A and B are shown apart, each in its own frame.
Chain A
Amino acid sequence: MTPLDQVILFVVDLLALFAVYLIINTGLNIQQGITGIPNFGLVFAVAAGAYVSGGLSTRIAVSLLGTQTTLDPIFDNISVLQLVNPILRSQPPTAIALLILFLIIGGIAGAVMGLISSAPAVRLREDYLAITLLAFGEMLNVIAIGYKPLIGGPPGVAVPDIFGWAGQYRFYAGTLVLLLVATAIFAYAGYLIKTPLGRTLKAIRDNEIVARSLGKDITQYRTVSILIGSTLCGIGGSLWALYSGAVTPTYARFDWTFLPWLMILLGGMGSNRGTFVGTIIFVALNKLIIYYKYAFVGIVPFNIVWLNYLLLGLITVLVLIYRPEGIVREWSARKENLSAADKEAGSRGPGLKST
């Protein structure tokens, strides 16, 4: 591999990771940033999308493509895929149609799981809601490891090679699809914030009691928000499984709950642009640290594998201390008005100023 190839590979990989995190972080930002639902169980919906894709995609491909086989799509996974993949490679439109179908299924899986996890929880106060969601997030891996027909237990399963038709450009095609989906979802979130629905979700976040006294059904809006966010996470999980080519029961809290939280904290909660900024900075930093960290072996007084965790944790602490509202403020679009209002707020004496 030439150095140029290496750079291209690095960038493509980075973009793919960026795209999948943008999808998931947008989902989290709608829940936490806009509605104020502290979803510490984000991984639940992401893993649901991934595991359902893993469990169903080969089965669906076999039945839709009319492949004649008595082999089991999960337990004889590799042999079945040897029958399925050549068909998908020779028929790009079929592959793309399947891709869209799998994304819809992933989204529905995320939404259903989101609804299940939220049904007992949306009525709770924020802190209890967070704990409940955290517990839910831990459940799916246990099921995926223990229940073999889902994704074959610990070794996981391969999924149909949806991007196989692109040949040696498989990962470019996959990255492109990831970016397209991420762009569409990001655009939707930007739209949602400007709708009356987005406004009401923010109002509930800012003051639940007043929102209730203004006729808003809090439980219903929280459920809508969880559904939207979980659907996006399910799509993200499903897409990531298809892009990676395989699903193993390793969708962990750290990667799919903790990191998304750090990214929206860094970028600025409640702001769509903040989500974008936080995601790109974080993913790039993480990737660079992982890429170069072995140069520091022997220099740092701990095992080098922890370097990115430590540095990213440090960055998060610094952000929380010095810029708790994140890089992009939710109301930065209104800067001119803000400075005027700041002045006014500053001149407000104990007697309260009149208009």
Chain B
Amino acid sequence: MGSLLQVKDVKRSFGNLRALDGVTLNVDEKTVTILIGPNGSGKTTLINVITGLQKPDEGHIHYGSTEITGWSPQQIYRKGIARTFQIPSMFGKLTAFENLLVAEKNHPGESFTKSLVKGLWVKHERDAVEKASRILQLLGLSEQSNTPASLLSGGQMKLVEIGRALMSDANLYLLDEPVSGVNPTLAHEIFARIIGLREQYGITFFIVEHRLDIALQYVDYVNAMASGRLIAAGPPKQVISDPKVIEAYLGA
């Protein structure tokens, strides 16, 4: 298994705050890796930097053999990295179904000239609709597909976020706290589905998550961050027994 994502010595500051202070980590292909760390340790900033919403001050990010440092979010998404947000961010007035359809890549119907002639995009649209319904079914959201997204429950919004990311056919998914605020039953279900997707499609997940009680039994690797640095990396058992991690995070 080669590494799909390589982050090398990435730094990013906000004024005097060093949110990322030289982070280096690898995410191996077809694995489920989680990133843990106390609040404010730079986890979300790292995701933002990888997906191009924020530019790193220093360091390099490679996706496969391509360097993607400093690319725009659009370019990174098209390259095959999709993400979700910590706070569910819906297109509120669109339905759950439409939320997924927006994520379709390279849709000819999005160009003004092609949008004028239905024949030029309707086939693509049909395929996208089929894919979206399959994903909604997979996530157990079929019944909510025509509900405006702003009326969904918090847990359902989390699922729509994941579904929207899945529409991209990306190879790497960065999920920012996919099960925070979700009840344990559904949280286990979400992780079970993530594992299922990994098995079925060979996709790679890099997940920020605090709910270790739920997440640890599903993941292959754990990375631990504190104060903008990586303090430990390895299989779950090894990382959570690491004294540095216990001190910084588990607080025991």
A217 within 8 A of partner (CB): yes
Q: Which residues of the other chain, B, contact A5 by a CB distance below 8 angstroms?
A: none
Q: Which of B19-27, B108-116, B198-206, B244-252 contacts A (4 or more CB under 8 A)?
A: B108-116
The answer, yes or no, to whether B85 is at the interface (CB within 8 Å) is: yes
Q: Quick one: CB contact mask for B153-179 with A, threshold 8 Å, 1 for yes? A: 111100100001000100000000000
State how many angstroms separate the Cβ of B236 from the closest Cβ of chain A.
Answer: 25
B123 within 8 A of A: no
Central interface residue in B95, B103, B140, B141, by most chain A CB within 10 Å: B103
Interface residues of B in 128-150 (CB under 8 A from A): 140-141, 143-144, 146-148
Option from A214, A331, A348 in Cβ contact (under 8 Å) with B93: A331
> Counting CB contacts under 8 A, is A195 at the interface?
yes
Residues of B within 8 A of A (CB): 51, 53, 73-74, 77-78, 82-83, 85, 89-95, 98-99, 101-105, 107, 109-112, 115, 118, 121, 125, 140-141, 143-144, 146-148, 151-156, 159, 164, 168, 181-183, 185-186
Closest Cβ of chain B to A33, distance in Å, is 10
Neighbour of A210 across the interface among B74, B85, B121, B146, CB < 8 A: B85
Say whether, besides A337-B146, A353-B155, A354-B183, A214 and B110 are in contact (CB < 8 Å).
Answer: no
Q: Contacts A196-B101, A196-B104: A345 and B73 contacting too (C-beta < 8 A)?
A: no
Bound complex: CA A351 to CA B232 (Å) = 32
Q: Does A341 contact B (CB under 8 A)?
A: yes
Q: Tell me the A173-223 residues at the B interface (CB within 8 Å).
A: 192, 195-200, 202-203, 205-207, 209-217
Q: Tell me if A138 counts as interface (CB < 8 A to partner B).
A: no
- B206 vs chain A, min Cβ distance (A): 15
A binding-site residues for B, Cβ under 8 Å: 192, 195-200, 202-203, 205-207, 209-217, 224, 227-228, 270, 330-331, 334, 337-338, 340-342, 344-345, 348, 351-355
| A209/B91 in contact, CB under 8 A | no
Contact status B121-A338, CB under 8 Å: no
Contacts of A341 in B (CB 8 A): 144, 147-148, 151-152
Known A195-B115, A334-B95; judge A210-B147 contact (CB<8 A).
no
Complex Cα gap A217–B186 (Å): 34
How far is it, in angstroms, between the C-alpha of A342 and the C-alpha of B89 when the chains are bound? 19
Inter-subunit contact B155/A355 (CB<8 Å): yes
A-B contact count (CB 8 A): 134
Are A209 and B89 in contact, with the CB atoms below 8 A?
A: yes
Given the complex of chains A and B, what is the CA–CA distance between A351 and B155 in angstroms? 10
Residues A210 and B91 in contact, CB atoms below 8 Å apart: yes
Which listed residue, A192, A202, A345, A355, touches B91 by the CB 8 Å rule?
A202
Q: Check B141–A355 contact: CB distance below 8 A.
A: yes
Q: Is the CB of B144 within 8 A of A355?
A: yes
Known: A199-B102, A354-B183. 4 other contacts (CB 8 A): A199-B101, A353-B153, A355-B144, A355-B186
Residue of A nearest to B81 (CB): A213
Chain A to chain B contacts (Cβ below 8 Å), 25 pairs: A196-B115, A198-B115, A200-B102, A200-B107, A202-B91, A203-B94, A206-B90, A206-B92, A210-B90, A210-B91, A213-B73, A214-B102, A330-B93, A331-B93, A334-B95, A334-B148, A338-B148, A341-B147, A341-B152, A345-B151, A352-B154, A353-B153, A353-B155, A354-B153, A355-B144
CB distance from B108 to the nearest CB of A (A): 8
- Residue in B111, B115, B141, B144 whose beta carbon sits within 8 Å of that of A192 in the complex: B115
